[in-house]
Amino acid sequence: MPRQIVLAARPAGMPVPADFAVTETGRPELADGQVRVRNLFLSVDPYMRGRMNDVKSYVPPFRVGEPLEGGAVGTVAETRSPGLAVGDLVLHMLGWRDEAVLSATAARKVPPVEGVPPSAYLGVLGVPGLTAYVGLLDIASLAPGDVVFVSGAAGAVGSLAGQIAKLKGAARVIGSAGTDAKVRWLAGIGFDAAFNYKTAPVLPQLRQAAPDGIDVYFDNVGGDHLEAALSVLTTHGRVALCGAIANYNATEPPPGPRNLGLVITKRLTLRGFLVIDHPGRMADMIGEVGAWLREDRLVYAETVVDGLEHAPDAFISMLRGGNTGKMIVRL
């Protein structure tokens, strides 16, 4: 029988395996307009942690005892929709399960790309790629010659943001990461400088990497990274507030940056964004990023965990920084 991962309990702080459970589910008959998709790859992402809390947000929280949701790519195994055929590769949001039954309108057919695995539609050609693209170009208004700092730079979004910045003419791109191995990896994919935020405070390392300041900060972390960036940003600097993973598992309200007054004196622009507000940019992103991939001008990494039953472990590992690039679960 098909299996699914349900939320067994709401996490208190960092999730633990007992917060999840594997259950079996039936195989219902399809209604008109529906398809059955056999999932090939599942996505686990930082935003999912927020949905595990029973709080109001931009999307409803997950419900205890119900299956989790998230991005997945798979093949159509059965169809009652004229728009999708058996064998079609589709992207949808009913991950965390072996099989998904959904309306054909909730599945987006994607073309196989030679040399690129289907999992790329969960990463470099999917929401992480669109997040990096929109965050840099539309939210932070990246301009040629800018000096750019990306926190969480070895993750799915950060690693792409740094490379896109260079491809779009940034003069210098700096990244932070949580291990020396990730710092070395960032140097290998084109970052001009990178540092390990766990071995020394962020601010002095950022000042050393950007002695003349930064013009753009792509924020995936928040906390001490945001505070340091505010200190180093140049006048009229721009910040794309994408995520704050440093605070996602906090059990007490985290302190805010102590230097917010700099936003006024430097005339900074801090702008939060959600990628779900920018679906119209997907075609542009796929076209431009796809070309860079074909030309070997942009690289991406995946950390792959095998087996649906290990999806919770992959999710927890991702929150702890155990991934380089996109964390993917392969079924």
Same domain for 186 and 316, yes or no, is no
pLDDT for res 111: 84
pLDDT for res 255: 77
Check: CB of residue 247 under 8 Å from CB of residue 222: yes
In-domain check, residue 296: no
Same domain for 267 and 138, yes or no, is yes
* End-to-end Cα distance, the chain: 15
Same domain for 158 and 182, yes or no, is yes
- The helix or strand, by DSSP H or E, that contains position 237, with its residue range, turns out to be strand 233-241
- The helix or strand, by DSSP H or E, that contains position 262, with its residue range, turns out to be helix 261-265
Check: CB of residue 195 under 8 Å from CB of residue 214: no
Same domain for 184 and 259, yes or no, is yes
3-state secondary structure of 62: coil
pLDDT for res 109: 95
In-domain check, residue 103: yes
Same domain for 185 and 313, yes or no, is no
In-domain check, residue 295: no
In-domain check, residue 175: yes
88: domain CATH number is 3.90.180.10
Same domain for 58 and 136, yes or no, is no
pLDDT for res 134: 98
Same domain for 50 and 134, yes or no, is no
* Structural domain containing residue 34: 3-122+301-330
Same domain for 103 and 195, yes or no, is no
List residues bridging with 94 in a β-sheet. 70
Same domain for 157 and 90, yes or no, is no
CA angle 116, 70, 77 (to 5 degrees): 65
Same domain for 143 and 265, yes or no, is yes
| pTM check: above 0.85 | yes
Domain count, the chain: 2
pLDDT for res 254: 77
Same domain for 151 and 267, yes or no, is yes
Mean per-residue pLDDT pooled into runs of 10, the chain (331 residues): 97 97 95 98 96 90 97 98 97 97 96 85 96 98 98 97 98 98 97 98 98 98 96 98 87 84 98 96 94 94 98 97 97 97
In-domain check, residue 292: no
Same domain for 213 and 101, yes or no, is no
